[in-house]
Amino acid sequence: MALIVQKYGGTSVGSVEKIENVAERLIAARKAGHDVVVAVSAMSGETNRLVEMAHQISDNPDPREYDVLVSTGEQVTIALLGMALKERGCDARSYTGSQVHILTDSAHTKARILDIDEAKIRADLDKGRIVIVAGFQGQDEHGNITTLGRGGSDTTAVALAAALKADECQIYTDVDGVYTTDPRVVSDARRLEKITFEEMLEMASLGSKVLQIRAVEFAGKYNVKLRVLSSFKEGPGTLITYEEENMEQAAISGIAFNRDEAKLTILGVPDQPGVAHSILGAIGDANIEVDMIIQNVAADSTTDFTFTVHRNDYERALDILNKTAKELAAREVVGDNAIVKISLVGVGMRSHAGIASQMFKALADEGINIRMISTSEIKISVVVDEKYLELGVRALHAEFGLEEVGLN
Ligand code: ADP
Ligand code: ASP
Ligand code: MG
């Protein structure tokens, strides 16, 4: 008998009928002899609806109250799922994050899970019950409700699986696995049988929202067997694994992209020690995260400095940069919030040369201008104009033969 943690995302619980479908699946897993713990998200659209209401009241809603508000969506789902199970004669108990002591730090809206008291869950499992836990939420040491960041129910599930030493953590969603790229953008994207933790971490952090990045981190750290599957269609899904030695690796495993990007440039700043700090220090003090950074080679003792931020932070970053520009007597500040980032990811890049130039040529052939580039051991990212996102991703998908993945 195995202990399985399942997680159902928003679209999988998007209506009463779908919740009933989840109940049937859970009963099937129970009948197969497994102990089952299930984490669920809010019904699709609900978290967005709550966030929008908060923003009608304030541009900057109080973080504590924001968490009290947005955590309510999941409570609706756990209760409906509990009812659906009991209606079918299956013993079940639903719990909020606080009720099963999902202890987090106090970083409201993006809290980290520190501990889960699994005793209560075990006691229910021992009685043969299915345990339903609200995803995305916890409480801090003072008893305040916290939330784990958008997409955080994935992390709840993985944390539960780690705490309970579950045999497998199954993330059920509206696609039947992790694909070579978002199948909504490239119709011939292919499902991957397996992807390494390292690659999945890069994909998630570079914009593939199929798994929350912290869930992948957590699973890697605590050795949780993690699988992404469809809640609508049978199949093996995608297993997230450790890299196997001697595994024949394609150069590229996947393409991630992020539409939430904006870039800012300060032109004609003095080329002297401390300038990068003056520019980015002020941005960091405002709690704005900076992603890519480029500083040009100095010409005439001044230089230009470009960086990217999340699109939501664009206006704020621009205001701050304009102030810095005055202080540094810089020539000009320019910005662009209609840019996107496209990234190639693959552990095979370590042993394949020439991937970057192949990528740049494929984009050039489509007439796509590259605005920024950054690389690391297993990824290459470029920033391009937003209007080229689909064209760029499709061109790269074809260039690297990703539509052949998994075909024999
Ligand atoms: P859930 O509500 O179940 O958590 P999400 O919307 O968070 O679902 O994640 C699933 C979505 O992730 C898919 O519908 C798909 O459009 C998107 N996605 C982005 N990149 C990928 C990828 N590489 N493979 C699969 N899905 C992806
Ligand atoms: N309901 C939350 C969100 O929409 C958490 C989740 O779905 O994972 O972000
Ligand atoms: Mg999600």
Q: Once rounded to an integer, what is the mean pLDDT over residues 91-112?
A: 97
How far from 35 is each of 26, 77, 126, 219, 226, CA to CA, in Å? Answer: 10, 20, 9, 20, 17
Average per-residue pLDDT for the chain: 95
The pLDDT of residue 408 is above 60: no
Q: Which atom of ligand 1 is nearest to the CA of 9?
A: 3
* Nearest protein Cα to ligand 2, atom 9: 150
Q: Is the CB of 147 under 6 A from ligand 2?
A: no
* Nearest protein Cα to ligand 1, atom 7: 210
Distance 188 CA to ligand 3 centre (A): 22
Q: Is the CB of 175 under 6 A from ligand 1?
A: yes
Given this model, what pLDDT does residue 135 score? 98
Measured torsion, CA atoms of residues 244, 205, 149, 159, in degrees rounded to the nearest 10: 10
Given this model, what pLDDT does residue 248 score? 65
Given this model, what pLDDT does residue 245 score? 66
Q: Helix-strand-coil percent breakdown of the chain, rounded to 5?
A: 40, 30, 35
- For the chain, what percent of residues have pLDDT higher than 70? 99
Q: Is the CB of 82 under 6 A from ligand 2?
A: no
SS3 44: coil
The pLDDT of residue 346 is above 80: yes
Say what angle helices 197-205 and 213-222 make with each other, to 10 degrees. Answer: 160
The pLDDT of residue 145 is above 90: yes
* Nearest protein Cα to ligand 1, atom 10: 210
What CA–CA distance (Å, rounded) separates 320 from 91? Answer: 56
Q: Which atom of ligand 2 is nearest to the CA of 154?
A: 8
Q: Once rounded to an integer, what is the mean pLDDT over residues 82-90?
A: 98
H/E segment holding residue 157: helix 153-164
Pick from 20-24, 93-97, 212-216, 294-298: least confident: 294-298
Pick from 35-39, 236-240, 246-250, 256-260: least confident: 246-250
Tokens representing 326? Answer: 């005055």
Q: Once rounded to an integer, what is the mean pLDDT over residues 165-173?
A: 98
Tens of pLDDT, residues 380-404: 999 999 999 999 999 999 999 999 8
Q: Once rounded to an integer, what is the mean pLDDT over residues 18-33?
A: 96
The pLDDT of residue 208 is above 70: yes
Given this model, what pLDDT does residue 247 score? 62
The pLDDT of residue 288 is above 90: yes
The pLDDT of residue 66 is above 90: yes
The pLDDT of residue 261 is above 70: yes
What the chain holds in terms of domains, given with CATH numbers, is 3-246 (3.40.1160.10), 255-399 (3.30.2130.10)
How far from 217 is each of 245, 247, 376, CA to CA, in Å? Answer: 21, 22, 18
Q: Which ligand does the CA of 135 lie closest to?
A: 2
The pLDDT of residue 221 is above 80: yes
C-alpha of 215 from chain center: 8
Tokens representing 256? Answer: 């991630």
Q: pTM of this prediction?
A: 0.94
Given this model, what pLDDT does residue 352 score? 86
| AA letter at 169 | C
